[in-house]
Amino acid sequence: MKELMIGNAAVARGLYEAGVEVVSSYPGTPSTEITEFAATYDDIYCEWAPNEKVAMEVAFGASLRGVRSACAMKHVGLNVAADPLFTLSYTGVTGGLLVCVADDPGMHSSQNEQDSRHYAISAKVPMLEPSDSSECKEFAKLGFEISENFDTPCLLRTCTRIAHAQSVVDQQERIVPEHKPYEKNPAKYIMAPANAIKRHPFVEERTKKLIAYAETAEINRIEMGGTEIGIITSGACYQYVKEVFGDSVSVLKLGMINPLPVQKIKDFAASVQKLYVVEELDGIIESHCRNIGVDCIGKELFTPLGEYSQKSIAEAFGLPAKETITADTAVPVRPPVMCSGCPHRGMFYVLSKNKITVLGDIGCYTLGSAPPLCALDSTLCMGASVSGLHGYHKAAKGEADGKSVAVIGDSTFMHSGMTGLANIAYNGSHATVIILDNSITGMTGHQQNPTTGYNIKGDPATKIDLESLCHALGIARVRVVDPYDLEETEKAVKEELAVAEPSVIISRRPCVLLKYVKAKSPFKVDQDKCRSCKRCMKLGCPSIHMKDGKAAIDNTLCVGCGVCQQLCPFDAIQEGEN
Amino acid sequence: MMNTKGIVIAGVGGQGSLLASKLLGRVLVNEGYDIKVSEVHGMSQRGGSVITYVRYGDKVYSPVVQSGEADYIISFERIEAARYAYLLKTGGIIITNTQRIDPMPVIMGTADYPEQILEELTAKGVHIEAMDALSLAEQAGSFKAVNIVLMGQLAKHFHIDYDKWIAALEQTVKPKFVELNKKAFALGYQFGN
């Protein structure tokens, strides 16, 4: 049956058809839906792990037990899982193991633009890169064959325009390979030095075999279209190249991007007059070409920044631009904002009002950095708010006490905030950590986590109690506030900042977009009472705007959180009628 | 061979552009076209400007629509139509909701909302079909049906039977919302007749 599927759904279908039995992942745009779709197949055990390192290790354990397993993550998630990856390369696998990693060139929803191909090179594991949904499915299946045939984990790399682009996929049956019986094998699986030393030559030999495979593999495909121009490319870039040139140039489309073939590239280069390499982000294929003595044009023509498109490639080749019309009047930018009724807003308003230095983290609450709240001072990576705050305090030698906090979401806290909090307790800084507990993993589109009480299927699961957890990590002062109550929130912040010991404030209110959270009637502004002081505008709520000189509330957006009402000194903001 | 056609769906995060592209994708797949749809999830969904690309034809390569390549722009908000007007090819059509949603710089008073921007584009020769899709959606039963009202208007430009659109709609939306959306689609389809 033919279906229109986003790349991530097609990867999940590939996992299903390949007979995968265990999938463990941590959500991250643009990789999240792989695991969400995998969880729709009852034959696959799926879970959200607290972080990517845990997820990959779960997949390792399943492979050790002899079944096919997978994990999925975004590019920065692979940083977290790098530790198991590098040694998994030495141990190899029993059941096939596929690591799906999604890059985000153009940073649609990421904090950097790193190129995960570097991991494949340095961990010495094969990496496949599909260029549409159909290939997402086929390459996922092929990844398991490569994994088992070469005794290695296999990486499957996508990018936003593959992961979140829909194209037509032909579906097949699921075939579960025979389970391999578990056998104790210390020489392969106990990576103590004496054993690891013997596994390293195996890894080097494996790479040679993989290169030989890459020379003849069907997924490294030459499409001849004249001898004038040859282009080596892969993934989404292949589509852009074909869009610009059709069949008028020759293309070497690489489906396997690590290790790269040598002879195939030399032969292709010899068959064309001018050789180009079109690859987003870093010049990895280009460097390989130069290393094997093949001259090519790459990053001197194509930028290492952002996403490519048919337009950027046509421009680089000096082809004429298409005609367009634009308005002369400037259109104001529309940056993403915290939603109307977002529970983070009340807390950020209080922090901003009190001019507190805020070390931020990764999640929807990064949006608290935008005007008018401008509440954040830093955002680095998952968990860095908590550990960073400790360092900030130690460096300030007491001067930061009472003036700085960390903010971190419930899911991010479970991912990698806990260890930082243990460090605060153990090494003693007077730091206040605010856990913005909206009872869901928000930014990636509502995934359950260990604090929500539900698993990936929505079934009840053990709910980890954040208060007890913080106590157990050595923090005596732990309190809970409702961020919709500005007075209570401000009181809590001021009191915790005043004490000379570490503390945690749990700012608790479920994400307003959760289905079980019922919106209240929209609030209204009494135009006669409004004196246009714009105090309510300081919240940066997208529902509130000025209309004819007075504040007005958009009734299609307002969810009746009532935070603005608490700011109005003239009682002009009133609850809507139910 | 049919040239690849491009459609852009532009709106504000949360307005339901993903459902609109799903309906469009469904109907075009049912018609047997090769098709690619590209959307962005994650951060920009949070009240930001969001854009979805739909491309279809005999053989589609790139999933994105670039400058001067769109046959249609469907916009859920007035200035979003203008923001992406550069994607329209000569002779292309903009179908837009006239609803105004102030972006944060306008809310904060650091930028003006360009009230006359559609008129400006019309003066430059752009074919614009502007409609109060919000009112029609409310008439159908929910302001959330703006997306389907606009798809109804778009459908008038296609040589695809009305029934086939309805069949695709039934395949796309949850059963309990089918009636509401059929009504919204009809109101969009009838607009301007």
> In this structure, what CATH number is given to the domain that contains residue A259?
3.40.50.920
Instruction: Name the residue among B12, B34, B125 with its Cβ closest to that of A168.
Output: B34
Pairwise CB contact (< 8 Å): A165 & B134: no
Three-class DSSP category at A477: strand
The pLDDT of residue B193 is 78
Measured between alpha carbons, how far is A326 from B84 in angstroms, rounded to an integer?
Answer: 8
A519-569 per-position pLDDT tens digit: 999 999 999 999 999 999 999 999 999 989 999 999 988 999 999 999 999
Question: Cβ contacts of residue A145 below 8 Å, gap of 6+?
Answer: A96
User: How much is the average pLDDT of A369-379?
Assistant: 95
* For testing contact with chain B, the best of A111, A328, A334, A555 (most B CBs within 10 A): A334
Q: Is residue A321 in some structural domain? A: no
A77-108 per-position pLDDT tens digit: 999 999 999 999 999 999 999 999 999 999 98
Taking the CA of residue A76 as centre, how many other CA atoms within 13 Å lie in the half-sphere pointing to its CB? 18
Same domain flag for A425 and A548? no
Q: Is residue A381 in some structural domain? A: yes
Reported as type and span, the H/E element at residue B80 is helix B78-83
Collect all residues of chain B within an 8 Å Cβ-Cβ radius of residue A444.
42
- Structural domains of chain B sorted by starting position, each given as residue range(s) with its CATH number in brackets: 5-106+113-190 (3.40.920.10)
Report phi then psi at A131, rounded to 5. Answer: -125, 5
A189-235 per-position pLDDT tens digit: 999 999 999 999 999 999 999 999 999 999 999 999 999 999 999 99
Collect all residues of chain B within an 8 Å Cβ-Cβ radius of residue A236.
63
Collect all residues of chain B within an 8 Å Cβ-Cβ radius of residue A339.
14, 46-47
Q: Is residue A274 in some structural domain? A: yes
Same domain flag for A151 and A180? yes
Instruction: Name the residue among B29, B104, B126 with its Cβ closest to that of A337.
Output: B104
Q: Which of A216, A231, A266 is the last residue in one of the domains?
A: A216
A493-507 per-position pLDDT tens digit: 999 999 999 999 999
Same domain flag for A21 and A145? yes
Same domain flag for A371 and A482? yes
Tokens encoding A459: 């079934």
Instruction: Name the residue among A331, A544, A556 with its Cβ closest to that of B117.
Output: A331
Identify the residue with better confidence: B39 or A488: A488
Q: Which of A477, A508, A539 is the last residue in one of the domains?
A: A508
Instruction: Name the residue among B14, B109, B120 with its Cβ closest to that of A329.
Output: B120
Q: DSSP E strands: which ranges in B61-131?
A: 70-75, 88-97, 127-131
Q: How confident is the model at residue B18 (pLDDT cuts 50, 70, 90)?
A: confident
Same domain flag for A245 and A391? no
The pLDDT of residue A577 is 81
Chain A: give the shortest CA distance to residue B191, in Å. Answer: 22
Q: Which of A216, A240, A258 is the last residue in one of the domains?
A: A216
Q: How confident is the model at residue A184 (pLDDT cuts 50, 70, 90)?
A: very high
The pLDDT of residue B109 is 87
Q: Is residue A166 in some structural domain? A: yes
The pLDDT of residue A479 is 98
Report phi then psi at B155, rounded to 5. Answer: -55, -30
Per-residue pLDDT at B44 exceeds 80: no
Tell me the Ramachandran region of residue B168: left when phi exceeds 0, alpha when psi lies from -120 to 50, beta otherwise: alpha
Three-class DSSP category at A179: coil
Q: Is residue A339 in some structural domain? A: no
The pLDDT of residue A425 is 98
Question: Residue with structure tokens 């929505």?
Answer: A458
The pLDDT of residue B13 is 85
Taking the CA of residue A382 as centre, how many other CA atoms within 13 Å lie in the half-sphere pointing to its CB? 27
Collect all residues of chain A within an 8 Å Cβ-Cβ radius of residue B69.
322
Same domain flag for A71 and A191? yes
The pLDDT of residue B2 is 75
Per-residue pLDDT at A142 exceeds 80: yes
Q: Does A540 touch chain B (CB under 8 A)?
A: yes
Pairwise CB contact (< 8 Å): A327 & B85: yes
Q: Does A1 touch chain B (CB under 8 A)?
A: no
pTM of the model: 0.96
Pairwise CB contact (< 8 Å): B46 & A336: yes
Q: Does A537 touch chain B (CB under 8 A)?
A: yes
Q: Does B35 touch chain A (CB under 8 A)?
A: yes
The pLDDT of residue B171 is 94
Q: How far is CA A65 from the centre of its chain?
A: 28
Per-residue pLDDT at B70 exceeds 90: yes
- Which DSSP category does A521 fall into? P
Q: Is residue A168 in some structural domain? A: yes
Mean pLDDT of chain A: 96
Three-class DSSP category at A200: helix
Q: Does A367 touch chain B (CB under 8 A)?
A: yes
Q: Which of residues 125-164 of A touch B (CB under 8 A)?
A: 132, 160-161, 164
Relative orientation angle of helices A263-270 and A193-216, to the nearest 10 degrees: 30
User: How much is the average pLDDT of B95-119?
Assistant: 93
Chain B: give the shortest CA distance to residue A321, in Å. Answer: 8
Q: How confident is the model at residue B14 (pLDDT cuts 50, 70, 90)?
A: confident
Tokens encoding A107: 């940073």
The answer to whether the Cα torsion of B65, B68, B74, B77 is positive or negative is positive
Q: Which of B97, B16, B10 is nearest to B53 (CA)?
A: B10
Q: Does A309 touch chain B (CB under 8 A)?
A: yes
Same domain flag for A431 and A556? no
Amino acid at B179: E
Cα A544-A546-A551 angle, rounded to 5 deg: 65
Is the Cβ–Cβ distance between A235 and A157 less than 8 Å? yes
Collect all residues of chain B within an 8 Å Cβ-Cβ radius of residue A367.
43, 46
The pLDDT of residue A218 is 97
Instruction: Name the residue among B45, B49, B86 with its Cβ closest to that of A334.
Output: B49
The pLDDT of residue A163 is 97
Q: How far is CA B4 from the centre of its chain?
A: 18
- Name the percent of chain A lying above pLDDT 70: 100
Collect all residues of chain B within an 8 Å Cβ-Cβ radius of residue A167.
34-37, 60, 63
Q: How confident is the model at residue A68 (pLDDT cuts 50, 70, 90)?
A: very high
Strand partners, B11: B50
Measured between alpha carbons, how far is A99 from A93 in angstroms, rounded to an integer?
Answer: 12
Per-residue pLDDT at B45 exceeds 70: no
Pairwise CB contact (< 8 Å): B63 & A236: yes
Q: How confident is the model at residue B107 (pLDDT cuts 50, 70, 90)?
A: confident
Measured between alpha carbons, how far is A25 from A369 in angstroms, rounded to an integer?
Answer: 28
Reported as type and span, the H/E element at residue A74 is strand A69-74
Cis peptide preceding A259, ω within 30 of 0: yes
Q: Is residue A552 in some structural domain? A: yes
A312-337 per-position pLDDT tens digit: 999 999 999 999 999 999 999 998 89
Q: Does B93 touch chain A (CB under 8 A)?
A: no
The pLDDT of residue B108 is 87
Pairwise CB contact (< 8 Å): A325 & B124: yes
User: How much is the average pLDDT of A147-167?
Assistant: 97
Relative orientation angle of helices B162-172 and B146-155, to the nearest 10 degrees: 150
Same domain flag for A350 and A270? no
Count of structural domains, chain A:
4
The pLDDT of residue B16 is 87
The pLDDT of residue B73 is 98
Q: Which of residues 427-486 of A touch B (CB under 8 A)?
A: 443-445
User: How much is the average pLDDT of B166-192?
Assistant: 96
Collect all residues of chain A within an 8 Å Cβ-Cβ radius of residue B103.
332-335
Same domain flag for A145 and A241? no
CATH of the domain at A531: 3.30.70.20
- Residue A534, judged by CB atoms within 10 A of its CB (0-12, 13-18, 19+), counts as middle
Is the Cβ–Cβ distance between A175 and A49 less than 8 Å? no
Tokens encoding B12: 């504000």
Question: Cβ contacts of residue B54 below 8 Å, gap of 6+?
Answer: B6, B7, B8, B9, B21, B24, B25, B28, B35, B36, B37, B65
Q: What is the CA radius of gyration of chain B?
A: 16
Chain A: give the shortest CA distance to residue B184, in Å. Answer: 17
The count of CB pairs under 8 A between chains A and B is 195
The pLDDT of residue B1 is 64
Pairwise CB contact (< 8 Å): A336 & B45: yes
CATH of the domain at A436: 3.40.50.970
Q: How confident is the model at residue A578 (pLDDT cuts 50, 70, 90)?
A: low
The pLDDT of residue A556 is 86
Q: Does A2 touch chain B (CB under 8 A)?
A: yes
CA distances from A209 to A142, A146, A261, A285, B3 (A): 16, 11, 11, 19, 43
Pairwise CB contact (< 8 Å): A545 & B107: yes
Same domain flag for A83 and A137? yes
Pairwise CB contact (< 8 Å): A109 & B44: yes
For residues A222, A225, A227 and A233, what is the CA-based torsion angle, rounded to 10 degrees?
-50
Q: Is residue A36 in some structural domain? A: yes
The pLDDT of residue A565 is 97
Question: Cβ contacts of residue A72 below 8 Å, gap of 6+?
Answer: A11, A23, A25, A31, A32, A34, A35, A55, A99, A100, A101, A102
Measured between alpha carbons, how far is A202 from A187 in angstroms, rounded to an integer?
Answer: 12
Q: Does B68 touch chain A (CB under 8 A)?
A: yes
- Domain containing residue A80: 2-216
The answer to whether the Cα torsion of A370, A373, A377, A382 is positive or negative is negative
Q: Which of residues 4-63 of A touch B (CB under 8 A)?
A: 4, 6, 29-30, 32-33
Identify the residue with better confidence: A406 or B13: A406
Same domain flag for A28 and A131? yes
Q: Which of residues 138-177 of B touch A (CB under 8 A)?
A: 143
Same domain flag for A362 and A493? yes
- Which DSSP category does B86 fall into? G
Q: How confident is the model at residue B39 (pLDDT cuts 50, 70, 90)?
A: confident
